[in-house]
Amino acid sequence: MFLSLRYSFTFFFILLLLSPSHINASTTILTQSATKIAITNHNIIQSLNNARRGTKITGISQFKRYLHRFGYLLQKSNTSFSDEFDATLELALVRYQRNLGLQVTGKLDSNTVSQMITPRCGDPDTNDTTPHNHNHHHNHVHNVHSTKNFVFFPGKPRWSRSMPMTLTYAFSRENMIHSLSKKEIIEAFQRAFMRWASVIPVSFVEVSDFELTDIKIGFYNAEHGDGEPFDGELGVLAHSFSPEIGRLHLDAAETWAVDDFRSTASEVAVDLESVATHEIGHLLGLSHSSLKEAVMYPSLRPRDKRADLNIDDIKGVQSLYGSNPNFRSEWSLESDMSANHGSGLVKHLRLASSLIIIISLIHSLCS
């Protein structure tokens, strides 16, 4: 089974895969929005998996709207999609699968459908097509330019201040949630900001003036004035804006959690620190990574936590701002050694370390 049983009614169709008694001739796809796909009948899964060019299946249009919304399928209107599996859908699926690190089949296979229903960031994640129609005056996410797995926004924007840099942030008093205390929310964001500050020469300071701060954080429901309405529980979790706009919006309808989910048994709980860390990456200039272990990977399943920066995240943000002088990791140390003394020295040091360990073991066995 390709998703855990804990993923709420949105993932109900997965349970149906386990029971042949639920199979019948009808197939149903609930079309809630372009960002959410819910299937309530087993039969549709096999039909989708077997779909080829020319096949018509009721509900295919919802997948087209989804791919259009996140930048993979080019079409002027997002309301006139057909239910035909055509060449444009196949190409969009290939791009989506390649970009999300999935097996490239060009089909609506179970792994691809599973990925599509996994909660995610609202920012598009493609690097070779034009995403859905944002309000251009927001300078939001459009085409992105990729290097390695990490990805930048067009033009590689960054906060253009002298180093070391200080950015301020504040929370909207009118747009907060009450399921968590303000202290819990603030501390989750402090940890998220600290993760990025530990690897680049940028510090983040909380201030009270929401209007004059660099970064504005708030929880919002549905339509909230930026042209990208939230879709309720799961679906899109949050979205943010490229430098130097500095707006970070979270869906107030989510069941936000902290402290490794110890305080909630909800099957649809979402880790606030993980999402905050991801969205701060956007604020700094990173788009979505195709590396599943990276913080900047676009999706996050309920009750999962992915807040630790991956080497891919670190390399990406350091290419924009440079390295925090106090930052040292095994990767950065080896890079420095390789650059200054040649890669051979690194190999010799590794060999020496191994020999020391072996000698220590022999000594302990003999004593």
348 annotated ligand-binding residue: no
Cβ atoms of residues 202 and 281 within 8 Å:
no
Kindly list the structural domains of the chain, giving each domain's residue range(s) and its CATH number in brackets, ordered by start: 9-117 (1.10.101.10), 137-321 (3.40.390.10), 332-366 (no CATH)
Phi–psi pair at 202, nearest 5 degrees: -130, 130
Q: Which residue has the tokens 């989708």?
A: 48
CB-side neighbour CA atoms (13 Å) of 261: 14
Cβ atoms of residues 144 and 152 within 8 Å:
yes
* pLDDT of res. 115: 95
* pLDDT of res. 256: 98
* pLDDT of res. 366: 58
Q: Residue 99 has what DSSP assignment?
A: H
Widest CA span in the chain: 79
Phi–psi pair at 86, nearest 5 degrees: -110, 180
Radius of gyration of the chain (CA): 23
Catalytic residues: 279
121 annotated ligand-binding residue: yes
User: Residue 67's Cα: distance from chain center in Å?
Assistant: 16
254 annotated ligand-binding residue: yes
What pTM was computed for the model?
Answer: 0.79
* pLDDT of res. 74: 80
Buried b vs exposed e over 269-293: b needs ≥16 C-beta within 10 Å?
Answer: bbbbbbbbbbbbbbbbbbbbbbbee
* pLDDT of res. 287: 95
Residue partners of 351: CB distance under 8 A and separation at least 6: none
304 annotated ligand-binding residue: no
251 annotated ligand-binding residue: yes
Residue 260, Ramachandran bin (φ over 0: left; ψ between -120 and 50: alpha; else beta): left
136 annotated ligand-binding residue: no
Residues of the chain with pLDDT under 70: 1-32, 40-43, 76-79, 126-148, 330-367
